[in-house]
Amino acid sequence: MNHPFLMVLCAGLLAWPLAWAQPEQALPSPTVQRIMQSVVSVQTRSDEQANTARTLGQQRLGSGVVIAPDTVLTIGYLLLEAETVDLIDHQGRRIPGQVRAVDNTSGLGLIRALVPLRLEAVPLGDSDALPTPGKLWTLGQRESELTALELVSRRPFAAVWEYWLEAPLMTLPAVNNWSGAGLFDQRGRLVGIGSLLVQDVFGDQVPLPGNLYVPVNLIKDPLPELLRQGKSLGPAPSWLGISSQALPGGGLSVLRVSPNSPAAQSGIMVGDTLLALQGQALDNLPDFYRRLRAVGPAGSTLTLSIRREGQVRQIELVTADRNQSLKRPSSI
């Protein structure tokens, strides 16, 4: 085994105490039972004309976790522009719900049950205090038992669609039922909500697939206002409506432009290359998103340097609140 990549990969795995290589640490039975009844199926349906129907589908299925007598915490993309929401508990009861809020900063969403859930809420844990590595458990909708995971990384994550988390929860082994699934600590407290399957939990050097869970601490501060009025206090973060990826030689290639977004209105097109923001060169997505946040909240003016067909041009635009581009569900 002299191939450099294989040597690096194996060295990393041997040095890391992965969950499946450790003796199983069972949770107490009452804790398991509380978790099992707290995870519900989330079924949503959006209008076929919704902006997100093309990318996320009109019908969506995932999980959610009961965090209050009438409140379920889930991943936000299940709820974007959703016209109908149904919750199905561990006994098979179908409970109508409504979208209460989607927090674009964290990517988490809240559902309000329209009839009593009659389910015990799970307390929120402290996702910032989790040891890395450390043992955690996950449960998704319609699963009959918990799956043991290992928290292996808190590396920053930047997605192509203007979404960035500074310290997500990266876990192994990879599981398939991640969308909105609960992640629980050794006391049975909810510490994360499943979001994605990622191919590189350790980063580009060791491309090992696992899952990304959104830390619950990101929702704690805005939670009271999200429940009270469906949005956070203060101005919304800036949004351009650009999906992009880094290019080897520098700059970002535009993959998609959201309809009616600031980028679309300013004439930015698929295939353009973003070269600089406010005169500062762009090299990668985290750099892009940090600078976009530094510009200010929605309504701020900025200048992008782009290259199209070999010509460099300057484009001035005003950032927007992403929620304003989405169809507001009639349930809110």
Maximum separation of any 2 CA atoms in the chain, in Å: 65
Among residues 177, 197, 229, which one ends one of the domains? Answer: 229
- Assess if residue 11 is contained within a domain: no
Q: What is the CATH number of the domain that holds 104?
A: 2.40.10.10
User: Residue 294's domain spans which residues?
Assistant: 242-322
111 and 133 share a domain? Answer: no
For residue 302, the SS3 value is strand
- Assess if residue 235 is contained within a domain: no
203 and 267 share a domain? Answer: no
- Assess if residue 22 is contained within a domain: no
Among residues 218, 250, 278, which one ends one of the domains? Answer: 218
Q: Which helix (H) or strand (E) holds 191?
A: strand 190-198
The pLDDT value given to residue 261: 93
Q: Long-range contacts made by residues 309-312, C-beta under 8 angstroms, separation at least 24? A: 312/275
Which residue has tokens 């079924």?
43
112 and 187 share a domain? Answer: no
- Tell me the per-residue pLDDT of 300-320, one tens digit each, with 9 for 90 and over: 999 999 999 999 999 999 999
What average pLDDT does the segment 82-94 reach? 95
Cis preceding-peptide flag for 116 (omega within 30 of 0): no
Report which of 108, 78, 286 is spatially closest to residue 191, judged by C-alpha positions: 108
Among residues 182, 200, 229, which one ends one of the domains? Answer: 229
- Lowest-confidence pick of 15-24, 110-119, 142-151, 220-229: 15-24
Q: Which DSSP category does 48 fall into?
A: T
The pLDDT value given to residue 328: 64
115 and 127 share a domain? Answer: no
Residue 266's Cβ-count burial label (10 Å; 0-12, 13-18, 19+) is middle
132 and 211 share a domain? Answer: yes
Structure-model confidence comparison of residues 233 and 161, the more confident one: 161
179 and 211 share a domain? Answer: yes
CB 134 within 8 Å of CB 17 = no
For residue 169, the SS3 value is strand
pLDDT(56) > 70: yes
- Assess if residue 12 is contained within a domain: no
What domain count does the chain have?
3
- Assess if residue 179 is contained within a domain: yes
For residue 207, the SS3 value is coil
106 and 130 share a domain? Answer: no
129 and 113 share a domain? Answer: no
The count of other CB atoms within 10 Å of the CB of residue 318 is 14
39 and 66 share a domain? Answer: yes
61 and 74 share a domain? Answer: yes
| Contacts for 57 with CB less than 8 Å, ≥ 6 apart | none
**What is the amino acid identity at position 293?**
R
Mean pLDDT of the chain: 89
The phi and psi torsions of 130 (rounded to 5 degrees) equal -70, 135
- Assess if residue 142 is contained within a domain: yes
- Assess if residue 274 is contained within a domain: yes
- Assess if residue 275 is contained within a domain: yes
53 and 114 share a domain? Answer: yes
d(CA 153, CA 307): 36
| Banded model confidence at residue 2, pLDDT cuts 50, 70, 90 | very low
CB 281 within 8 Å of CB 294 = no
Which residue has tokens 């450790």?
22
127 and 185 share a domain? Answer: yes
The pLDDT value given to residue 263: 96
